[in-house]
């Protein structure tokens, strides 16, 4: 599984402890200043260094570095449970992409502005692209070869939307499964926790057609 991380040293031990048996964690770091890479290694992950900044660049470097087969992606901030990944993997079957539909657990798991923005984007994906999704998704499962075939996608926070738009264009079967979404366990938000982060995400999403 690919775990993009920027300054997640505090959250990572908990995340990596929940990696299910038979799965390997690839932590993709780009320039963390809090020792994320060392913490990842000390907790059993393989570290991939990506010089280009951004969530999308990190995810794509991780997919590239992953062994062939099915790849899962999830956040390294403790908001998602790696133990839920096998359920998404077994749902893949004949589909091409499984998107985790985040169900907020506990107050503050999902700030209102982020939730509303996400729902609007998902609505657009259903209406305009015919995808049966209710979440743009931050946890997902697909085959590595298929992801590589889509070519380079948005390097920053436009990646999740770009992936779905391209997947629709390529005629992929995209399905959705519920996953739990909690407040990040430690550390600072890069996106939805601040207005600046949200504005950046909107800018990135906007750049995707
Ligand atoms: N490698 C890498 N990872 C990143 C970058 N930006 C964000 N991430 C990771 O991507 C995941 C999602 O970012 P978050 O900051 O949690 O964004 P969010 O979930 O909207 O915000 P929270 O409400 O704080 O959880 C986390 O695991 C981050 O560490 C980046 O530039 N490079
Ligand atoms: Mg988060």
Q: What is the mean pLDDT of residues 96-111?
A: 89
**Ligand 1: nearest atom to the Cα of 193:** 23
Q: What is the mean pLDDT of residues 155-175?
A: 95
Q: Is the pLDDT of residue 191 over 80?
A: no
pLDDT tens string 40-62:
999 999 999 999 999 999 999 99
Instruction: Identify the domain containing residue 38 by its residue range.
Output: 2-206
Confidence at residue 198, expressed as pLDDT on a 0 to 100 scale: 66
Q: Is the pLDDT of residue 183 over 60?
A: yes
| Residue 127: Cβ-neighbour burial (10 angstroms; 0-12, 13-18, 19+) | exposed
> How many folded domains does the chain comprise?
1
CA 76 to chain centre: 9
Find the helix or strand (DSSP H, E) in which 174 lies: strand 174-181
Confidence at residue 111, expressed as pLDDT on a 0 to 100 scale: 81
Q: Is the pLDDT of residue 209 over 60?
A: no
Q: Which of 190, 195, 205 to mutate to test the pocket of ligand 1 (most atoms within 8 A of CB)?
A: 190
The pTM assigned to this predicted structure is 0.93
Q: d(Cα 114, Cα 106) in Å, to the nearest integer? A: 15
Ligand 1 residue neighbourhood (C-beta within 6 Å): 4-6, 8, 28-30, 53-55, 58, 75-77, 79, 184, 189-193
Find the helix or strand (DSSP H, E) in which 47 lies: strand 46-49
| CATH, residue 40 | 3.90.550.10
Q: What is the mean pLDDT of residues 81-96?
A: 97
CA of residue 84 to ligand 2 center, whole Å: 16
**By the 8 A CB rule, do 45 and 3 touch?**
yes
């Amino acid at each position: 599984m690919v775990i993009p991380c920027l300054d997640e040293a505090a959250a990572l031990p908990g995340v990596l402890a929940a990696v299910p048996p038979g799965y390997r964690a690839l932590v993709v770091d780009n320039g963390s200043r809090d020792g994320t890479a060392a913490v990842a290694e000390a907790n059993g992950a393989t570290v991939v260094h990506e010089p280009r900044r951004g969530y999308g660049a990190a995810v794509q470097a991780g997919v590239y570095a992953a062994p062939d087969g099915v790849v899962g992606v999830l956040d390294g901030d403790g908001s998602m449970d790696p133990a839920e990944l096998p359920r998404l993997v077994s749902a893949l079957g004949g589909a091409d992409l499984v998107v985790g539909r985040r169900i907020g657990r506990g107050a503050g798991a999902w700030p209102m502005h982020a939730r509303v923005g996400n729902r609007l984007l998902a609505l657009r994906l259903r209406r305009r692209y015919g995808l049966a999704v209710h979440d743009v998704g931050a946890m997902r499962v697909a085959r590595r070869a298929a992801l590589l075939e889509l070519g380079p996608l948005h390097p920053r926070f436009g990646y999740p939307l770009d992936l779905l738009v391209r997947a629709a264009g390529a005629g992929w079967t995209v399905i959705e499964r519920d996953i739990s979404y909690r407040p990040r366990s430690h550390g600072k938000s890069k996106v939805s926790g601040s207005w600046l982060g949200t504005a950046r995400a909107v800018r990135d999403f906007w750049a995707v057609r």
